[in-house]
Amino acid sequence: MNRKLKSCSAIMAAAALAQAAVVPAAMAANVTAQPNVSQAQAPYYNDPSGDPKLSTLQMVKLLQQKVKYVFIIFNENHSFDNEYGTLPGVRGLYADENGPRSAANTPGFNQTYTDVNGNTVTVQPFQIGPAQNSSVVDSVDHSHVGLATKIDVVNGTAQMDKFAYREYWGRSPNTSTAAAQKATQYARLVMSHIDCDTIPFFWQWASNFTVFDNIFATEDTPSTPNAVAMIAGQSGETQWVKHPNVGPVIASSGTAGPVAVNGAVSGTLVGPPFWGDSQPFYGSPLDPTVNGRVTTCVPDGCTTKNISEVFTFASLPLTFQGRNVSAVMAGNRNPAVDLADIQQDIPFIQSKNGTPVNWRWYQEGYNLESSDSNGVASHSAYVSHHNGAQYFGYIANTPAMAANLKGETDFFTDVANNALPNGGVFYIRGGYLNQNKLLPPVVANAQLPASAVAAVQAAKQGDDDHPGYTDRQISEAMAASVINAIAANPTLWSQSAIIVTYDESDGFYDHVPPRILAYGPDGLPLARGVRVPLMLISPYSRTHAVSHVEGDHNAVIQTINAIFGLPALASLPDEAQALVAGNSPAFNQFAPAGFQQQYLGPRDINSAISDSLLSGFDPKRLLGLSAPLPASLAAIPANVVTSLPHYSGNGCKAIGITPTDRQQGIVNPIPAGFNPLPGTVPQSN
C-alpha cells in the first residue's frame, strides 16, 4: 500500500512539473510594471499582464537565436535598499508593487540598541544625498560574523534587525569617547540609503529596462566567496563535503597547519568552505610557479598568512570549454591538486560534445592599464581578492585558461578594435582606481573640513562601487562607459544581454529576509546573504518592469546556461554527489536541530528557491511582435558621463523619477551631526 502511494505521489509530482513548464512566463516569473511610463519608454512598453504564453523551453530557444553576448558588470558592496529602496514599483523601504507600506510591516525598520551610557537608541532608514557626500561614504561591517549578527536568524527566519546594533557594539565603543562617537556614526551610516540624485544612471537603466528586486548574495559573507559564486554558484561547499576533515584551515597537501613551498617560503592556507577574503593561492607569495604566473596579489595586501587553498570545484569557465575540456585541462601544470575535485566532471562535460563558449574576466589592474605610466603595469588598482576566477587552480595554473584574465582597459580596447571573440560571456570589474580619465571624487558637502577634502579625494578614486575606496558616481561612470561602448556597436548591441549586479551588500541594511539555505562549520548561516541589486539591459529586455523572482548569483549562471546550452553545474557528477552527501549527519550537525543541508554546492537548476533571469526578457520582443529596444535607452551622453557631479546633483529631476519617500511626503530624519565618513574623517564624528 505504501509503495503504491509513493508511486502515485511521484506521478503526481511529475505531472505538476510538466504543467509548470507551460505556465505563462509573466505569471510564473511574477513580473510587474513600474508606474508612470515615460514618453521615451511609451513606444516600447508592453504590460507584463499581456504576455504571450510561452513555455520556458520556447523562451530559451528564442533567446539562443537572439543573444550571443552576455556582459556582466560586476560591482561591489551595496544592499538593494541602500541603492534602490525608494525606486517606484520595487519591494523597497516605503512601498512595494502594491503601493505604500508601513514601517510596522517592514522588517527591521526600527533598529534599537543600548549604548555605553545605558541609553536606548533607535535608528530608522534615512535618505542621504549630495549635501551629505552620499557619493563617497565609508564601508560598514561586512564580515561573515558581522553579517550573521545583522540578519539575526531566529527559528530559521532572518529578522533583519541587528544592523545598527552590530555596527555600534562591533566597534568596541566602550574603549573611549572617540570610539563611542565613531560607533554611533557607523550605527547611523548602516541605515542610510540613496536615490537618483546620487546614482541617476543606475536608476535610469533600472527604469528603462528590467530591475530584479529579490536577488540575494549567494553567501552570507564578504566579497571573495560571492565573487567566486558568480561563476561557480557556491564558495567551496562541494570541496568541504569532499574533504570534510581538512578545513577550514588546511594546506594544499590536505594536512593541517603551515605549508612549505620549495623548502623556502611557508604560510598557512585557508580551506573550505570559504567565508572570508583570503587571497588566491596562484599569484601569492606561496605560488611556486616560475614562468607564466598570474598577476600577483601583493598590491592587495596578501601575505603568507592569508592565502586560500586552491579551489578545485566546478565553475562556468570549466563548462565553457565544452568538447575541448579534456584537451584544455591536459595543459594544467599541477593536475594532482588543481583537478582533484573535477575528475568526473571533465569526462561528463566532454561527453556532451558542446560548443565551446568564449569568455573573459576583465578586471582593473590585472595588467597594463591606461592609468599606468611608462608602459609598465603597476597593478596598483588590482583588488585580487575580487577576482573570482584566479582562485581556481584549473584556471590560474592552466595557460589556455589564464589567458582569459585581462585588465579593464583591455575591454575597451577589444571593443574598439572589434577584437572581442564572436560571442561569449564577459565579466567587467573595476578596482582601486578608475580608467575613465582619472575622474576626481565628488566632495560636495560644504561642512566637510577643508583639511579633509584632499584625504577624501585620495581615498575614493575607485570605480567598482565599493564603499570605502570608491566614488559612487565614478563607479556609475565606469558602468556607463562599458554600456556606451556596447551600445555604440550595432552588432554587439543587437545580440547582447548586459547584467549589472553586485557581489554582496557591504552590510548595509535591507528589509527583505534572505532564505537560509546552509550553515558552515562555525554554526553560522553560510547562505544566503543580504539582498543585492540586479538589472538586465538588452534589446530584448522588458522596459519599465520589475521581476520579483527569487535567486542569487546562481540566477546569472542559470541564464548563461540557458543561452549557451550548458549543463548546470549542479548536474555535474562531482557537484551532484556532494549535494547528496552534504545532507547527512556529518554536515547537518552544524545547523540548528532539524535543518537539512540540501544546498552545499551550486543550485543553478530552476527550483522553488532559485529562478533564472529569463523573466526579464520580453516575450513579444523575442517573438518579433514588438521592436527591440534601441541603444539610445541605454546610452548616456559622453559629456554627462565625465561631468561630476552627474546632473549637478539633481539626478531625479533630470531623469524624471520621483522616489517613493518623496511621493508620500515622508519626513527624512537625518540624525543631527551625521557623518558619512566616520573612518576617513573621524574629526567630524
Query: Rounded to an integer, what distance in angstroms lies between the CA atom of residue 662 and that of residue 670?
Result: 15
Q: Tell which wins on pLDDT, 3 or 392.
A: 392
The total number of structural domains in the chain stands at 1
Can you tell me whether residue 425 is helix, strand or coil?
strand
The count of C-alpha atoms lying within 13 angstroms of the C-alpha of 138, restricted to the half-sphere facing its C-beta, is 23
- pTM of structure: 0.92
Parent domain of 596: 2-437+460-684
CA-closest candidate to residue 162, choices 180, 179, 145: 145
Residue 643 lies in a domain: yes
pLDDT at 254: 36
Residue 51 lies in a domain: yes
Query: Rounded to an integer, what distance in angstroms lies between the CA atom of residue 577 and that of residue 270?
Result: 24
Q: How confident is the model at residue 439 (pLDDT cuts 50, 70, 90)?
A: low
Can you tell me whether residue 506 is helix, strand or coil?
coil
What ranges in 460-567 are assigned the alpha helix state H? Answer: 472-487, 490-494, 553-564
What ranges in 291-392 are assigned the alpha helix state H? Answer: 316-319, 325-329, 335-338, 345-352
pLDDT at 449: 73
Can you tell me whether residue 607 is helix, strand or coil?
strand
pLDDT at 246: 55
Does the pLDDT of residue 142 top 90, yes or no? Answer: yes
Query: Rounded to an integer, what distance in angstroms lies between the CA atom of residue 478 and that of residue 80?
Result: 20
Does the pLDDT of residue 7 top 80, yes or no? Answer: no
- Give DSSP secondary structure letters for 140-184: ---SHHHHHHHH-EETTEE----HHHHHHHTT-GGG-HHHHHHHH
Helix (H) or strand (E) holding 576: helix 573-582
Where residue 488 sits, what CATH number does that domain have? 3.40.720.10
User: Which positions ≥6 away from 503 have C-beta within 8 Å?
Assistant: 74, 75, 76, 77, 217, 223, 226, 227, 230, 386, 532
> How large a percentage of the chain has pLDDT more than 90?
79
Cα dihedral angle (537, 543, 545, 547), rounded to 10 degrees? -40
Number of H helices, E strands in the chain: 27, 22
Can you tell me whether residue 428 is helix, strand or coil?
strand
Amino acid at 452: A
Query: Rounded to an integer, what distance in angstroms lies between the CA atom of residue 457 and that of residue 77?
Result: 20
Cβ-contact 660, 87 below 8 angstroms: yes
Residue 234 lies in a domain: yes
Q: Which grid cell sits at 193?
A: 540609503
Cβ-contact 40, 633 below 8 angstroms: yes
pLDDT at 244: 86
Tens-place pLDDT, residues 180-209: 999 999 999 999 999 999 999 999 999 999
Q: How confident is the model at residue 19 (pLDDT cuts 50, 70, 90)?
A: very low
Tens-place pLDDT, residues 218-270: 999 999 999 999 999 999 999 999 998 754 443 333 333 344 444 455 677 88
Cβ-contact 460, 469 below 8 angstroms: yes
Cβ-contact 464, 504 below 8 angstroms: no
Q: Tell which wins on pLDDT, 9 or 314.
A: 314
Does the pLDDT of residue 619 top 50, yes or no? Answer: yes
Tens-place pLDDT, residues 385-416: 999 999 999 999 999 999 999 999 999 999 99
Q: Which grid cell sits at 228?
A: 567566486
Residue 177 lies in a domain: yes
Query: Rounded to an integer, what distance in angstroms lies between the CA atom of residue 502 and that of residue 569?
Result: 21
Alpha-carbon distances, residue 141 vs 129, 149, 150, 502 (angstroms): 22, 10, 9, 17
Tens-place pLDDT, residues 262-294: 445 567 788 899 999 999 999 998 888 888 889
User: Which positions ≥6 away from 116 have C-beta within 8 Å?
Assistant: 173, 174, 180
The count of C-alpha atoms lying within 13 angstroms of the C-alpha of 591, restricted to the half-sphere facing its C-beta, is 24
Residue 455 lies in a domain: no
Residue 454 lies in a domain: no
> Mean pLDDT score of the chain, rounded to an integer?
90
Residue 231 lies in a domain: yes
Peptide bond into 645 cis (omega under 30): yes
Alpha-carbon distances, residue 639 vs 178, 186, 441, 443 (angstroms): 43, 35, 17, 20
pLDDT at 265: 58
Q: Tell which wins on pLDDT, 216 or 450.
A: 216
Q: Over range 93-106, report the average pLDDT.
A: 94
Residue 443 lies in a domain: no
**CB atoms near residue 424 (< 10 Å):** 18
pLDDT at 683: 87
